[in-house]
A = this chain, B = another copy of it.
Amino acid sequence: MTPAVARPMPAGLAWRPDGQVVLSGPLLRLAQACDEAWTVLAGRWPAEPEDHPAMLDAEALQAVDFLTSFPHLATFACGLDPAEENLGEFTTRPLDETGVRLTRLAPVREVLTPAACYHVYVHHRGEALSGPRYVTTRNTCFRRETHYEPLRRQWAFRMREIVCLGDRREVTGFLRAATDLVTALFRELALPVGWAAATDPFFRPTRSPKYLAQRLSPTKHEAAYRDLAIASVNLHEDTFGDAYEITRHGRPATTGCVAFGLERWLYALTDRYGPAPAGWPDVVAAARRVTAVAVAS
């Protein structure tokens, strides 16, 4: 594949024909610094780090209509039925020119993480919140797309999120403060980024009540570097609180999140500052400065 990235390669980037990337050297250190920077931002709130599995129970996801809303995005974790003859049949010719020749699959119950924050809502199922709860989590996320481009649009990519669960006022307050903080970081990094309302990529959007609701009352805002969304701020209202029986003041909790796409930040930073590491900004120091200002104000 010829990458759409028609510019000198940043030091430490290699890509595979399927658009997935290998990071090493300076670019790997920049990736680690970005994640550390977002963790510094998360420290603006008492955000508890949580480390979640690679996959999610399909039934739990469908409780919020995930499979019917986004069937085209889902990646399923599939294994072969372990019956001896089934495995034996598979091994006679595991591959042909179209790819893997699967034989009978074992029951499929897991979807590879579509967004880091889903785990948080499922994990806190049944909780009665006595105050707003803040969580930060990072995961490898999987989204099928019609085409892939290294760093810009990958089947598998990394995402960190800062999540708030609470009442509507607590969550909208968090989202406003998070938007301001992320905007301040963009300014500190001199990254030209604009916010705009956006919608999730629903299947058959015009037939989806959820898509229509999003169009009427925007609940998703994306921060775009040129044409590329590198962060988003999302208000889920009580969708997750309702589905997973998370309550606040005895009613379904509201949830919201701010999400950062790791590979896309690498694209934006190396596009803005060039492929040579010497020109890259200290993103952790920038995050510390804007967070200190936000905490003091």
Nearest-neighbor residue (CB-CB) of A28 within chain B: B51
Q: 1/0 contact trace for A116-127 toward B, CB 8 Å? A: 000100010000
| Interchain CB contact under 8 A, B58 and A99 | yes
| Interchain CB contact under 8 A, B62 and A72 | no
| Interchain CB contact under 8 A, B54 and A68 | no
| Interchain CB contact under 8 A, B108 and A100 | yes
Nearest-neighbor residue (CB-CB) of A144 within chain B: B79
| Interchain CB contact under 8 A, A22 and B53 | yes
Among A77-134, those with CB < 8 Å from B are: 77-80, 82, 87-88, 90-91, 94-95, 98-100, 102, 105-112, 119, 123
Interface majority SS on A: helix, strand, loop or mixed?
Answer: mixed
Instruction: List the number of copies, as a whole number.
Output: 2
Cα(A50)–Cα(B62), bound, Å: 36
Q: Could you tell me how many residues of chain A have their Cβ less than 8 Å away from some Cβ of chain B?
A: 63
| Interchain CB contact under 8 A, A20 and B55 | yes
Among A35-61, those with CB < 8 Å from B are: 48-55, 57-59
| Interchain CB contact under 8 A, A16 and B67 | no
Chain B residues closer than 8 Å to A48, beta-carbon distance: 24-25
| Interchain CB contact under 8 A, B95 and A53 | no
- Chain B nearest CB from A78 CB (Å) reads 5
| Interchain CB contact under 8 A, A75 and B77 | yes
Q: Please tell me which one of the listed residues B20, B78, B98, B119 contacts residue A78 in the complex, with CB atoms under 8 A apart.
A: B78
Q: 1/0 contact trace for A152-171 toward B, CB 8 Å? A: 00011000000000000000
- Chain B nearest CB from A46 CB (Å) reads 13
| Interchain CB contact under 8 A, A140 and B140 | yes
Indicate whether A204 reaches chain B with its CB closer than 8 angstroms: yes
| Interchain CB contact under 8 A, B53 and A20 | yes
| Interchain CB contact under 8 A, A90 and B67 | yes
Cα(A25)–Cα(B87), bound, Å: 41
With A50-B22, A50-B24, A76-B78 known as contacts, the answer to whether A107 contacts B99 (CB < 8 A) is yes
User: Closest 8 interchain pairs by CB?
Assistant: A20-B53, A67-B94, A99-B107, A79-B144, A23-B51, A54-B156, A100-B108, A99-B109
Instruction: Return 16 A-B CB contacts under 8 Å, by A number.
Output: A14-B123, A18-B57, A20-B54, A22-B119, A24-B51, A53-B156, A55-B156, A58-B94, A58-B95, A67-B100, A68-B91, A76-B102, A79-B144, A100-B108, A102-B105, A106-B144
